[in-house]
Every structure is written in structure tokens, then in C-alpha cells.
Structure 1
Amino acid sequence: MLRQSVAEILVTTPGQGLHSCTDAVARWVAGTGIDTGLLTLLLRHTSASLLVQENAAPAAARDLERYFAKIAPESRSYEHDDEGPDDMPAHLRAALTAMSLSIPVAGGRMMLGTWQGIYLFEHRRAAHRRRIAVHLIGE
């Protein structure tokens, strides 16, 4: 019988960077009792994003962060700077990445690859409390 579960996961970030939320999502999936289905995650913010990324080599995260700092640098030249010089670059970085992810679930677990993890990519310098809406449909 098809079932659904919906919740929200709160992730507190200390500031810019990739912050793993794999374990929190995995715990929630396991707690639903749904064995097989499709997991959808939606980040409910416009200045951060969600990524499935390398989870074993910290250098991969550092390289990714440096890359985005180059292609969307902080600058006072942006028209939209309501919350400071990191405001518009955060929106640009979010636009270039993803706000939602879909991940298959089998055996009550996300079907991530061996070296994959789910990350909240915080694009703002200040600490934030980010909300991820999670929805799992399956049986």
C-alpha cells in the first residue's frame, strides 16, 4: 500500500560552506517505515542550496567553495545588496546549484553512492537556521 511521510529538517549552519545533512535525512527516512520509494528534499531558502557531493575528501568541498567564490564573488557592484555584500552572490550561487533533490529509497535507505553525501551549501557568511522540507512516498 502506497504511503507518504512529510516533515521538515532543521540545519543550523555556522556560515559559508558545505554542511553535511546526510545523517539527519537518513535518520528521518529510516523512521518513516517506508521501505521503497522516492525521497524529495526542498530547501526553503533562496541564499543556500542542496547538493549531492563527494563525502570522503575534504579537498573536494574546499575546491567547490573556492570555485563558487570566483564565479559569484562578493562585490558592492550588485544592485541587490539589502543584507550586505554577500547577499546577491548568495542568490547567484543558489541559482547555479539546486534547491531540491530527488533520491530513490530501497530497503529503507537512500540509494546514494558510496562516496556521496547530501550537503546544505550555505552561501551566506553569517550563521543561519535552514529548513529542508522532506517528502517520502512509497511502500
Structure 2
Amino acid sequence: MRQFSTSLSVHTNRQGFFELTKDIRAWLLDTGIEDGLLTVFCRHTSASLTIQENADPDVLHDIGTFFKKLVPEDASLYTHTNEGADDMPAHIRSALTDVSLSIPVVAGKPVLGTWQGVFLVEHRARDHQRTVVLHIIGE
């Protein structure tokens, strides 16, 4: 059994979805591990991870629109407001999604569906440098 880890630095400049699939695939190839389990972990409380459709951008747009309706950016609704109107909603949206994903790896590739991609979801409206940790264990 072998294991490797690395960190991806992701610059975000808006709310939205930032695809990590290509970076993850490239790193997995470099590890040489053929079969195992990949963990993807987001080190932030106002950003998250998801596996979602990567073919039609309307899907990601609709999900973003839904989150804005589900968790509005209205400071009058929250006690924690000192970091801006989008901060507390970002924490809630992050809690509703994932900060850690487990993805099987077979033949050196993440086992994803035809239309699936791995995304960092930025829930804040301003620039951030986000860190996503990748860890693979396998053979």
C-alpha cells in the first residue's frame, strides 16, 4: 500500500464553480497508483466541493441560482455579519454541500460518471485563494 498527498491552490474571483477534474487526473497519473481511494478535502468554511455535471454549464448556473434563493444574502437574517453580507450565507451553503469527497480510483483514473466533474464551489463574492488537499491511498 502506498499513499501520496498534495495541495491544489485555486484562485477564485467570484461566486461559482471551479472545475478541478483535470488537475486531479494529472496528479493521479504522477502518483503511479493504479487502484485506490482518493480523498479531496476543502480547507475552508465558506467554500465547498461537489461532484456535478461538467457538460452543460446551465446546470451549474441553476444550482447557483437555487442556492441564492435558498440562502439569501440578507444581513438582517443573520447575527454573524462582520465579514460582509455574503459571509454567513457562504457558511450555510458550505454546510449544505461537502468539504470532503471520497472517489474510487481504478486504472489510475478517478471513477466518475460520463458527465461528472469535481468542483470547488466558491460561496463568497470576492477574490480568494482556496486550498484543496488531495490524498490517495492504494497500489
Q: Which amino acid aligns with 1:9?
A: L
CA deviation string 1:23-63 (max 9, x = no partner): 11111111111000000011000001000000100100000
Number of residue pairs matched by the alignment: 138
Aligned to 2:59: 60
Cα distance, 1:102 vs structure 2:
0.3
Partners of 2:137 and 2:127 in 1: how far apart?
32
Q: How does 1:1-139 map to 2 (within 5 A)?
A: 2-77=1-76, 78-139=78-139
Q: Please provide the CA RMSD for this pair.
A: 0.6
Cα distance, 1:110 vs structure 2:
0.5
Q: Which amino acid aligns with 2:28?
A: V
TM-score (norm 2): 0.97
| Most deviating of 41-50 and 22-31 | 22-31
- Stretches of structure 1 that go unaligned for 5 or more consecutive residues are none
Aligned identity (percent) is: 51
Partners of 2:26 and 2:83 in 1: how far apart?
34
Partners of 2:56 and 2:103 in 1: how far apart?
22
